[in-house]
Chains A and B, each alone.
Chain A
Amino acid sequence: MMTVLTPEDLQAVTLTLKLASITTLVLLCIATPLAWWLAHSRSWYKGLVSAMVALPLVLPPTVLGFYLLLMMGPQGMVGEITRAIGIGALPFTFAGLVVGSVLFSLPFAVQPIQNAFEAMGKRPLEVAATLRATPWDRFISVALPLARPGFLTAIILAFAHTVGEFGVVLMLGGSIPGETQVLSVAIYSHVEAMEYSEAHWLAGGMVLFSFLVLLGLYRVGGNWAKGAR
């Protein structure tokens, strides 16, 4: 395999895994409180927030990538802030890719967690409150364990969706090896250069890898969901 995959290809593979892992972690941190709020809020702007979270589901990735590129660029709003605090411009950097992927996969993380919080209802939390659990304690000891299947689904979807991402990454990151050239972009470059054999190895490997990850997670997920019922 080493003879077929170039060091650049291998770099693309590790970069993709790194991007998907970091994106998933960041998403869990953002999606959990957001899902909690959406599941419990009765505020009028809940609908507005839900719509914004779901927007990446319907937008072509290139549209999202295009606006992010403008916003994070040197003349963009976000760009000026990041320059002012000394981070520099985010487009065509790994950090920029993480921001783009997080936004793009947000609904895939928020919705399963929100559904899980809604499905458990208020009762277990009320019971915990009458048993002296503080709000934070209730969240940790009751809400999180009961929402476990939702979290697992969110992790699978966010990770897989980021690995498969192409449009946003291409618009926002271009194809800088080791920095922004992820698997999907590398495959595209190979195909453009008529290097079908390399493209085959990467594409086939991705199919196999994705399948194995999903298979493993769903098997674990089955047991997990059983344990939580």
Chain B
Amino acid sequence: MSWLRVHLKMQQGSFELDAQFSAPPVGVTALFGPSGSGKSTLLRCIAGLEHGEGWLRVNGEPWQNETTFMPVHKRPLGYVFQEASLFPHLSVRANLEYGYKRIAAAQRKVQPEQVIEWLGLDRIIGRGDPVSLSGGERQRVAIGRALLVSPELLLMDEPLSALDTQSKQEILPYLERLHRELQIPMLYVSHDMGEVARLADHLVLLQNGKVIASGDVHETLSRLDLPIAHFDDAGAVIEAAVAQQDEKYHLTRLDFAGGELWVSKVEQPFGTKVRARVLARDVSIATQAPHGSSINNILNARIEEIRDEGADKVMVRLRVGEAQQLLARITRRSRDHLALVEGMYVCAQVKSVALM
């Protein structure tokens, strides 16, 4: 599983990066942490844009160790910067094909026409001047440009954070599509919980230059010992599939390992895989199945862990079915009134589900 293995250190003024983690060869690994946690510096070290100390192996190949430092242009990676950074002196197409032209024909697994189709660039590819593009369009060209070097590893440094909400919404579906359809492992730096919940399979949490946790996104997001589970927008991610459409009430049933959820109608065919996010603040707990509730989604769950959160709240980790975790944020008073303890079977009432 350790396709990518990293132990890199770097001193920048008073800030010290000392990060160690590994990542699998598939899917999106999110490097997540508050600003100043060193996630961007770590990504730049992995790319070779910064020369830290330590070692880095990708796919069995040493990119860096005591004796080796592979220069950036020799590393088989693609890099998307926070700002699109298109070359202003080149046309949109020349930007897109800048890297493509610089790799050997035999290594070109991705073709420009494919990328234009994937990223919906057909309308903008003919524009001469990249300055005329919108922020979102520029970033799509930048992503396409990075894909066209047929990278073994795609590095993204907060590619959406410089964009407005609308442009973000415009690009996210493309990123999800890349995630689903391309077999390129991605390292994705972000400080946005929503993006991580939406895209990541694997999560590396950084704090003050250190990796404090690394693992599967579902498990890591529901670990109550980590600060991430106590954010205001903490919650669980559920992988589900479209199972039934209710035309009359305009609802869709989603099935997941351990239960089902009714959500507002999803215009997707039967069997389509979707990712849902259930925030801890939208889950309440009842000791018996409630009667006369307006809540559609009531799941049988087992309390796995309870942890105090602040003076008035507790965070409850629930297991639904075999493996699915849910988080519920309730008051300390409710915990005591209901006499909730670990190991107890309860009903989790899910007030809302965000589809991604």
Greatest chain A CB density within 10 A among B73, B83, B102, B149 is at: B73
**CB-CB contacts of A129-157 with B at 8 A, as 1s and 0s?**
11111110100011001101000000000
Q: Are B88 and A229 in contact, with the CB atoms below 8 A? A: yes
Bound-state Cα–Cα, A137 to B79, Å: 18
Q: Are A228 and B99 in contact, with the CB atoms below 8 A? A: no
Q: Does B289 contact A (CB under 8 A)?
A: no
Residues of B within 8 A of A123 (CB): 81, 83, 85
Bound-state Cα–Cα, A134 to B99, Å: 11
Which A residues, 79 to 129, have Cβ-Cβ distances below 8 Å to chain B?
123-124, 126-129
Q: Are A133 and B87 in contact, with the CB atoms below 8 A? A: no
Q: Does B345 contact A (CB under 8 A)?
A: no
Given A123-B81, A126-B49, A127-B81: A132 touches B102 (CB 8 Å cut-off): yes
Q: Are A131 and B98 in contact, with the CB atoms below 8 A? A: yes
Other-chain contact of B87, A130, A132, A142, A227 (Cβ < 8 Å): A142
Residues of B within 8 A of A127 (CB): 79, 81, 85, 87
Given A129-B49, A146-B89: A134 touches B131 (CB 8 Å cut-off): no
Chain A binding surface SS class: helix
Residues of B within 8 A of A146 (CB): 87-89
How many residue pairs at the A-B interface have CB separations less than 8 Å? 59
Residues of A within 8 A of B146 (CB): 130-131
Q: Are B131 and A129 in contact, with the CB atoms below 8 A? A: no
Q: Does B226 contact A (CB under 8 A)?
A: no
Given A127-B87, A131-B149, A132-B103: A229 touches B131 (CB 8 Å cut-off): yes
**CB-CB contacts of B22-34 with A at 8 A, as 1s and 0s?**
0000000000000
Q: Does B47 contact A (CB under 8 A)?
A: yes
Q: Does B230 contact A (CB under 8 A)?
A: no
Which B residues, 60 to 76, have Cβ-Cβ distances below 8 Å to chain A?
71-73
Q: Does B299 contact A (CB under 8 A)?
A: no
Q: How far is the CB of B74 from chain A (nearest CB, A)?
A: 8
Bound-state Cα–Cα, A48 to B213, Å: 49
**CB-CB contacts of B102-139 with A at 8 A, as 1s and 0s?**
11000000000000000000000000000100000000
Other-chain contact of B89, A133, A137, A145 (Cβ < 8 Å): A145
Residues of A that sit less than 8 Å from B by CB? 123-124, 126-135, 137, 141-142, 145-146, 148, 227-229
8 further contact pairs, Cβ within 8 A, besides A124-B85, A130-B72: A126-B81, A129-B72, A131-B73, A131-B146, A132-B149, A145-B89, A228-B88, A228-B89
- A-B pairs with lowest CB-CB distance, top 8: A131-B99, A130-B79, A129-B72, A132-B102, A145-B89, A127-B85, A129-B73, A132-B73
Residues of B that sit less than 8 Å from A by CB? 47, 49, 71-73, 77-79, 81, 83, 85, 87-89, 98-99, 102-103, 131, 145-146, 149
